[in-house]
């Protein structure tokens, strides 16, 4: 156990502390079991030691269950946060596609006379806005993909 105080075997400090607490409690349980032998001849003392042993096991159980519930809650929060961000990215992509489809075309490329844009300056400003929207969409996609599942 002293070795694990120096070399932390887990990735997270939280899990290293939990590991050391569990090891310490297991060691205490092992020591307490010796008290159930003829070391203490009084049955009342053994009864009290038995309750201490059960409370130690109960404490171990509560600590580990609390850590598991915290992990589940944190994982659920992270899952729903990522899901919401993915929806936002998809909405931005959908708007981008709609904007691309609704862009007017040059004089010679128009299938419908209502699509013709009169000046090239207007077309350039529309394409510039389209590029900005595309950059925003890419940045938000990268932000969602760069998030990791680690938490401390």
pLDDT along the chain (152 residues), means of 10: 75 88 91 83 86 94 95 95 93 81 57 51 65 70 55 46
Model pTM score: 0.58
State how far the Cα of 64 lies from the Cα of 58, in Å rounded to an integer.
10
68 assigned to some structural domain? yes
Domain count, the chain: 1
Query: For residues 117 and 104, is the Cβ–Cβ distance under 8 A?
Result: yes
152 assigned to some structural domain? no
Neighbouring C-beta atoms of residue 80, cutoff 10 Å: 10
| pLDDT on residue 149 | 45
Domain holding 38, by residue range, is: 2-146
151 assigned to some structural domain? no
| pLDDT on residue 39 | 78
55 assigned to some structural domain? yes
| pLDDT on residue 122 | 57
Helices and strands (H, E) in the chain, number of each type: 4, 0
């Amino acid at each position: 156990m002293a070795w694990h105080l120096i070399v932390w075997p887990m990735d997270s400090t939280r899990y290293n502390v939990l590991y050391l607490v569990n090891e310490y409690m297991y060691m205490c349980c092992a020591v307490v079991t010796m008290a159930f032998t003829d070391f203490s001849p009084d049955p009342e003392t053994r009864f009290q030691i038995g309750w201490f042993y059960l409370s130690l096991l109960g404490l171990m159980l509560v600590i580990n269950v609390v850590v598991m519930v915290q992990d589940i809650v944190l994982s659920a929060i992270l899952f729903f946060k990522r899901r919401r961000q993915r929806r936002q990215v998809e909405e931005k992509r959908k708007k981008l596609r709609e904007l691309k489809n609704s862009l007017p075309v040059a004089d010679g490329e128009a299938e419908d006379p209502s699509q013709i844009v009169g000046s090239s300056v207007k077309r350039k400003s529309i394409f510039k806005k389209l590029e900005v929207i595309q950059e925003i969409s890419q940045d938000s996609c990268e932000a969602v993909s760069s998030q990791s599942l680690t938490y401390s």
